[in-house]
Structure 1
Amino acid sequence: MPIVTWDGTLAVGHDMIDQHHEHLLELLNKTYDEFCEQKSKQGLEAVLDELIDYATYHFGQEELLMEQTDFPGKEEHLREHAYFARRVGEIQKDILAGTGHLSLEVISFLRNWLVNHISQKDTLVGNHANARQGKPVIIDLH
């Protein structure tokens, strides 16, 4: 059972970013499934590693897009990425050291951070990149 579903409401309107986000959420759901099924510690560590590695790759690509399109909120956005990377790195370090474990609290943090960041911050990046590239932007009427 997924903890979050990609249904288009999280689309930021930029193909590359949306594809990355969809994959990140698939990896988060895979992590959640492993947790719920109480898979081996090694299995949980492997899927968490995959999620972290892909998030790192995605952040790099998104940051390159911000640079290429001269995104005005780039510095704040980079700080958010750095916070997530630092926090997830701490979680991973604790798990590997045996002083922490993958818990529902950790999974909730991952889910909430990703969903909030995508819907609030990455939409701005997608709209800005599209406007700079002459593509339609997403207008949230809510």
Structure 2
Amino acid sequence: MSYFSWTSDMSVGNTLLDHDHRVLVALVNDLHTATSRGEGREVVGAILDRLFAYTQQHFQREEHHMQRVQYSKAAEHTRLHQDLLRQVLELKARFDAGHVTVAAQVSALLRDWLSLHILRDDRQFAAELAAATGSGVT
């Protein structure tokens, strides 16, 4: 069983957002697997880099669509994104400074944060996005 499983109740009904979320879940699982196996700093660091970069890209895509449809909670939603990125950057800096066990904290943080964020915040956004665009695809 995976560390972090994508379940159908995590679908927000938007093809592109759901795809991004599945990729993020897979990357969190990759990070957890690498840390559990005791993979070296290079392997774990590369996964952390991919995970951080993809998270940034996903947030940028979401925020672009929020602006495009003038999402009513865009400022609050963007602040949540910024807060998470700040936390992950702080943990990544600790990892880069030699604290290898921090990678496990990143996977736990992202698993918990993404689960709640998708079910609560992204679901609300996706509903407003669908209403504004008339579809579940953007």
TM range (shorter): over 0.9
> Is 2:70 the counterpart of 1:78?
no
- The alpha carbon displacement at 1:123 in A equals 0.4
SS in 2 for 1:9: helix
Is the Cα contact below 8 Å between 2:28 and 2:51 reproduced in 1? yes
Aligned mates of 1:102, 1:2 — CA distance in 2? 20
Letter in structure 2 aligned against 1:4: F
The residue aligned with 1:140 is none
Aligned mates of 1:130, 1:23 — CA distance in 2? 21
- The alpha carbon displacement at 1:135 in A equals 3.1
How many equivalent pairs are there? 136
Is the Cα contact below 8 Å between 1:94 and 1:101 reproduced in 2? no
Gaps in structure 2 of 5+ consecutive residues: none
- The alpha carbon displacement at 1:106 in A equals 3.4
Gaps in structure 1 of 5+ consecutive residues: 137-142
State the superposition RMSD in angstroms.
1.4
- TM-score where L is the length of structure 2: 0.92
Aligned mates of 2:34, 2:17 — CA distance in 1? 26
Is the Cα contact below 8 Å between 2:44 and 2:103 reproduced in 1? no
- TM-score where L is the length of structure 1: 0.90
**Residue deviations 1:52-110 (CA, integer Å, cap 9, x gap):** 00000000000001011110000000110000100000000111012463354432211
Going by fraction, where is helix more abundant, 1 or 2? 2
What aligned pairs does 1:63-102 form with structure 2 within 5 A after superposition? 63-99=63-99, 101-102=101-102
